[in-house]
Structure 1
Amino acid sequence: MSSVQTFYDATQKLIALLDDAELDRDSKISQVEWLLEKRQQAMAGMAPPYTDTQKDLGARLISLNAKVTQLMKREKLFIQKDIKDLSFKKESSGKYANPYQSLATDGMFYDKRK
């Protein structure tokens, strides 16, 4: 199997994996890392001259790479949202436990007049 075909197959698997919403995030991330490594190794093995079928696969890979980029950005946004929600929960639970912790005492004004 040529390295272009290996790259194409890994890209197809990566798209299918990123589209699957039912997978656990940790297992999804480990599988994505493995597939990206496999794609990188296949990319390193690519060398001209290319056959007509390899050129056809290369043309299809351009659109598939755009889809992979879009799906990876979507996953990144999901992870960032979860991190933001978690930090908000952590901050709000801390305020609930000690509501007077964040009050600033500097800048107080005492009126000397009666």
Structure 2
Amino acid sequence: MIIQTFHDLTVELLAVLEDRTIAERDDKIERVTQLIDQRDELLSQIKPPFTGEEQQLGRAIMLLNQQVDYLLKLQKQEIQRDIQEINKKKRSSNKYTNPYESLSVDGVFYDKRN
């Protein structure tokens, strides 16, 4: 049953997103991407008419998808924050290594009498 498999993948995706024990973010992102790709393949195979059980699973999937969407948005915000911090550190590091880089030369007096 395709809808049951889709439901199971959604539950697994939710568990991966909620899991705080995964140390490497890259591993977590890779696993999430795999699950989303698998769900995408199954989604194209789901066609009506649906039985009563399939309709119930569909409703449950809709609720799970809301949680998945919320957790994916949180993950995205966390990544964006980290990128901003890295860019901020790069800028301050550049200012430390070359403190005169951003100085302007406007208003310099040039004496022509030589």
TM (norm. structure 2) is: 0.90
In structure 1, C-alpha distance between the alignment counterparts of 2:68 and 2:13, rounded to whole Å: 7
Please give the root-mean-square deviation of Cα atoms over the aligned residues, in Å. 1.4
Structure 1 equivalent of residue 75 of structure 2? 75
Matched length: 109
Give structure 1 regions of 4+ aligned residues with deviation exceeding 4 angstroms. none
Which residue in the other structure is 1:3 paired with?
2
CA distance in 2, matches of 1:17, 1:33: 11
Deviations 1:67-112 (A, max 9, x none): 110000000000000000001011101111111111121x3165xx
* SS in structure 2 of the partner of residue 85 of structure 1: helix
Return the offset for 1:38: 0.6
Counterpart in the other structure of 1:93: 93
Change (3 A) 1:22 1:7: same
Report the Cα offset of residue 62 of structure 1.
Answer: 1.1
- In structure 2, give the amino acid aligned to 1:7: F
**Equivalent-residue separation in structure 1 for 2:18 and 2:32 (angstroms):** 12
What are structure 1's unaligned runs of at least 5 residues?
Answer: none
CA distance in 1 between partners of 2:95 and 2:21 (Å):
34
Amino acid in the other structure paired with 1:65: N
Deviation at 1:22, TM superposition (A): 2.2
Partner of 2:35 in structure 1?
Answer: 35
In structure 1, C-alpha distance between the alignment counterparts of 2:98 and 2:42, rounded to whole Å? 55
TM-score by length of 1: 0.90
Structure 2: 5+ residue stretches without partners: 110-114
